[in-house]
Amino acid sequence: MNDENKSAQSASGRSWGDLGPRLGSAAVLIAVTLGCVVAGGWFFSGFVAVLFAGLFREWETMVTRSQMRPRAYLYLTLIALAAVLYPLLGWLGTFGLMAATALIAAATDGKYRWWRLAGLAFLCVFMLALLMLRGSTGAGILVAVYVLSVVWVTDSAAFFTGRQIGGEKLAPGISPSKTWSGALGGLALGTIAGTVAWFFLAEGPLWLGALFSAIISVLGQGGDLAESAIKRHFKIKDSGDIIPGHGGLMDRLDSLTLGAIFVAIVGLIHGGTASIPHGFLYW
């Protein structure tokens, strides 16, 4: 075997060697996520609280470059408690507890105060968006399935088309592995998947479903790039190692954050705080 063939074989191994762990982890995550979404109530709020705890821990250790301190554990506990108690407190009580915790963080001294506060604020908005999107009605299940369909298909399509086709880099200074072929493949297939899901799950013009799906797909890839830029700033490759083949929770959920917030805002504007899932799905 000549050097050129060895090089090609090595590159192929690097490209697809992590496929098995990625697929296995993805299957477990999908099953757990959908199970909690369908169960709703305390199961889903507890699931969101666990997500926040993992995400904030990764953020805190990334920006401080050290282990969690007692003050950070206090913030983590208060916000996780706010998420868990969402079925009891409602959106206003949960928001109030989250805002109070953020104010405490803003008032404390510390070298990394503003990075910590930025992470807290963004994660709180993300968590509240998830909780309000799921709500307590069947429409919450439908909107969750729709959003997750767009995000998951975009992620998978970008991964496979990018590795199979390759080509010009999308943002080499931020994420050297991402390509324009992957981004466009993810956008195309994510939009198609979302439009199909919209047809079966929503009541509204198909063009609106396609538009929303495209926006969510773009926001998903934008969230992925934003997280990559932050990791590059702090000189780390992965936010953690809790998920085999993917890295940390931030590495897995970065593409969901902006899309979920966008859907929650649209549902809020169109349906009000009492019916965000209906406000997004029914036109």
| pLDDT exceeds cutoff 70 at 45 | yes
210 confidence band (pLDDT: 50, 70, 90):
very high
Q: Return the HEC string of 202-243.
A: CECCHHHHHHHHHHHHHHHHHHHHHHHHHHHHCCCCCCCCCE
- Based on the structure, what is the number of domains in the chain? 2
11: confidence class by pLDDT, cuts 50, 70, 90: very low
Domain contains 8: no
| pLDDT top residue among 1 and 119 | 119
Q: Which residue has the higher pLDDT, 88 or 67?
A: 88
Q: Please write the tens of the pLDDT for every residue from 238-249.
A: 787 777 666 789
Residue 230 has pLDDT above 80, yes or no: yes
Burial of 98 from C-beta contacts in 10 A (0-12 / 13-18 / 19+): buried
The answer to the question of residue 1 being in a domain is: no
User: Span 10-18, mean pLDDT?
Assistant: 49
Query: Confidence band (pLDDT; 50, 70, 90) for 16?
Result: low
Q: What is the mean pLDDT of the chain?
A: 90
Residue 166, pLDDT score: 85
Q: Give the global pTM.
A: 0.90
How far, CA to CA in Å, does 182 sit from each of 89, 100, 239, 258?
42, 41, 22, 19
Report yes or no on 195 lying in a domain.
yes
Say whether both 45 and 115 belong to one domain: yes
Q: Which of 136, 162, 194 is the last residue of a domain?
A: 136
Identify residue 26 by its one-letter amino acid code: A
Of 21-35, 106-120, 152-166, 234-248, the range with the lowest mean pLDDT is: 234-248
Looking at the structure, do residues 155 and 55 belong to the same domain, yes or no? no
* 88, 120, 136 - which closes a domain: 136
Task: Give the rounded percent of residues in the chain with a pLDDT score beyond 90.
Answer: 70
Confidence of residue 84 (pLDDT cuts 50, 70, 90): very high
Q: Are residues 246 and 188 in the same domain?
A: yes
Same domain assignment for residues 95 and 208: no
| Same domain for 196 and 161 | yes
pLDDT tens-digit readout, 144-155: 999 999 999 999
13 in a domain, yes or no?
Answer: no
Q: Is residue 11 included in any domain, yes or no? A: no
144 and 71 in a common domain: no
- Give the pLDDT confidence score for residue 91 in this predicted structure: 94
Whether residue 107 is found in the same domain as residue 207: no
Q: Are residues 183 and 103 in the same domain?
A: no
Residue 5 has pLDDT above 80, yes or no: no
235 token code pair: 């000189």
pLDDT at 178 over 50: yes
Question: Which of 101, 136, 171 finishes a domain?
Answer: 136
Decide if 177 is inside a domain. yes
Residues 50 and 81 in one domain: yes
Question: Residue 53: is its pLDDT beyond 70?
Answer: yes
Domain with 90 in it = 27-136
Q: Do 141 and 131 belong together in one domain?
A: no
Asked if 61 and 113 sit in the same domain, the reply is: yes
Same domain, 129 and 151: no
